Structure 1
Amino acid sequence: MEQAQECLRHALSPGQQPLAELDSDEVWPRFVRFGSQRFATAGTADADGLLFQYGTDSFEGPPVFTLDLARQFEVNDASGEHDHYIQLHVELRYEPVFQLRALGHFESWFFHDTDDELDRWANGLGHQEIWTIIRNFPPTEIRVYQEQV
């Protein structure tokens, strides 16, 4: 898991293309491809998950529409008990124009080692209305970061 953030950055920009030049049509399939790579994680069903979420929020100042793609890893302590989660995020931020705000808030999780299939989950999300709308607006910022939750 220590290499996951580096793997994510490489998956997003394999040819050294700056993150700022990417759009949602490029980021989503690259994130899914990164999500298919397996890492050494705990043996629980929710130890390795992907999160697709969007909405308009003002957590850090003025309102912004954010498409947040995250990968979450469970970290256990020395006795094998849950300690915390590590989340790797790719956030595409947009001006909160009416068309994006009208999408509301949405989230969907996928977890490896369950009965769900990554391709089925990703293909289902690929048919969401957001893709038709968001393509009309360039992201104002793309952030890649890691946090402990």
Structure 2
Amino acid sequence: MHLLQDELQAGQRAVADLNTEDAWSAFLRFGRARFDTPDTPDADGLLFQYGTYSFDGPPTFSLDLTRQFEINDSSGDHHHYLQVHCELRYDSAAPLSALGSFESWFFHDTEDDLDQWAEGLTGRGAWAVVREHRPVEIRVYREQV
């Protein structure tokens, strides 16, 4: 989690002052760093997802950039996943709500290319809509799933 926070603050700005592009760039830098993970196809993944949700209040559009690591027990069997989130929340706006919901995964150690995955996401029409809005909150947190 601290590595992601460091990337978000790399420009010497407070996290609250970042825009969508800043957070996405920081997330990709964090996503390129490699870690010692189990030798399984889904041990180290990146998730890009958005939608309008009301988890803890009124419906809010959220862009959630997540890095997921598989954690194994001492015998090498899957125990849980650790997810590090960079969640961007936006004021309610009709163009954002109209996007619906979407998710896309990238996994290291597969034949997929991180740069192609990222370009595919920013090439979507939805990206043009999201990046025009400034997040009102950026939360960085981790959770065990």
Shorter-chain TM-score above 0.5: yes
Q: Deviations over 1:33-54 (max 9, x none)?
A: 1101001111111000000000
Q: What residue is the counterpart of 2:6 in the other structure?
A: 10
Percent identity reads 57
Q: What residue is the counterpart of 2:50 in the other structure?
A: 54
Q: Name which of structure 1's ranges 105-114 and 16-25 shifts more when overlaid on structure 2.
A: 16-25
TM-score, structure 1 length as denominator?
0.94
Cα offset, 1:84, TM superposition: 0.2
Cα offset, 1:76, TM superposition: 0.3
How many residue pairs get aligned? The number is 145
Q: Distance in 2 between matches of 1:15 and 1:98?
A: 31
What amino acid sits opposite 1:13 in the alignment?
A: Q
TM-score, structure 2 length as denominator?
0.96
Q: What residue is the counterpart of 1:130 in the other structure?
A: 126
Cα offset, 1:26, TM superposition: 1.0
Which runs of 5 or more structure 1 residues have no equivalent in the other structure? Answer: none
Which runs of 5 or more structure 2 residues have no equivalent in the other structure? Answer: none
Aligned pairs (5 A) from 1:1-149? 5-149=1-145
What amino acid sits opposite 2:30 in the alignment?
A: F
The root-mean-square deviation of aligned C-alpha atoms, in Å, is 0.9
